[in-house]
Amino acid sequence: MKKHIALITGGTGGIGTAICKELASQDIIVVANYFPAEKPQAENWLIEVRNQYPNIFIAAADVTDYDSCHDMLESVKTDVGPIDILVNCAGITRDKTLKSMTPDQWNSVINTNLNSAYNVTQQLIQEMMERGFGRVINISSVNGQKGQFGQANYSAAKAGLHGFTMAVAQECASKGVTVNTVSPGYIETAMTRELPEQVLTSIVNSVPLKRMGTAQEVAYAVAWLAEEKNAYITGANIPVNGGMYMSS
């Protein structure tokens, strides 16, 4: 049987790395996208993961730039093959209360966390539909569902991402392509390590499981949605948040 090929944007980051390894452990060929300016770090990352996962590759693109994504997608198609699993995972934070949030803090988060999903998915979706199979998984956040003090930019982008999921899911449901969101809560990564300690403590205390999640726990949900036999879930938002936010 032909092996699936997965592209993970932000694949060398905290959650991205766990997703790459989990998909690679399931015999999927994995391409981890990285930001071009971080080439040396990405090459070191590849050396580390290649020991255990020879089926992982890397590809550079600035996901905020449509043309840069186009060039990356063309070279992945030529060098590795057609992508049939896409995980939109690239994301940043620029936390600030709205009254003092600069246009750059707003725009950089919207561009990296939301416009990136358009830039990559728009250039892949037609091919997935023509082949009759595809899995698109958008990594949102609990803060896109409930909002977060200091994150008007991030909460807006992450909420927008699930709107994107629901619309695109309808557009390609009849062609074997599912589109879903995974919404992590507070996960142990570099992003949450930057939070002031008392802020983090009070957040963790509000989580029913009384702990942060692991990137691996997010990766399990992503890998499950990516399975070929998981064909009847589309337009869904799967929370991986320790019970921090519950909805019907």
Q: Please identify which residue in 81, 147, 150, 176 interacts with ligand CAA, judged by CB under 6 A.
A: 150
Structure tokens at 81: 């093959």
Q: Which of 34, 66, 118, 154 is catalytic?
A: 154
Could you tell me which stretch among 21-29, 34-42, 71-79, 143-151 binds ligand CAA (CB under 6 A)? 143-151
Torsion-angle region of residue 147: left (phi > 0), alpha (psi -120 to 50) or beta?
left
| Residue 105 lies near ligand CAA (rule: CB under 6 A) | no
Residue 208: CB atoms within 10 A of its CB come to 10
Query: Which of 132, 243, 240 lies closest to 178, judged by CA?
Result: 132
| Residue 149 lies near ligand CAA (rule: CB under 6 A) | yes
Residues facing 86 on adjacent strands = 7, 136
Q: Please identify which residue in 22, 62, 84, 95 interacts with ligand CAA, judged by CB under 6 A.
A: 95
Could you tell me which stretch among 38-46, 103-111, 178-186, 210-218 binds ligand CAA (CB under 6 A)? 178-186
Is 66 an active-site residue? no
Please give the single-letter amino acid code of residue 119. N
Rounded Cα–Cα distance for residues 3 and 182 (Å): 24
Q: Please identify which residue in 100, 174, 205, 248 interacts with ligand CAA, judged by CB under 6 A.
A: 100
| Residue 245 lies near ligand CAA (rule: CB under 6 A) | no
**CB burial string 105-135: b at 16+ within 10 A, e below:** bbebbbbbbbbbbbbbbebbbeebbeeebbb
Q: Please identify which residue in 93, 113, 116, 234 interacts with ligand CAA, judged by CB under 6 A.
A: 93
With contacts defined by CB under 6 A, how many residues of the chain interact with ligand CAA? 21
| Residue 110 lies near ligand CAA (rule: CB under 6 A) | no
What are the φ and ψ backbone dihedral angles of 144, each rounded to 5 degrees?
A: -80, -20
Q: Which spans of this chain sit near ligand CAA (rule: CB under 6 A)? A: 93, 95-97, 100, 141-143, 148-151, 154, 184-186, 191-192, 195-196, 199
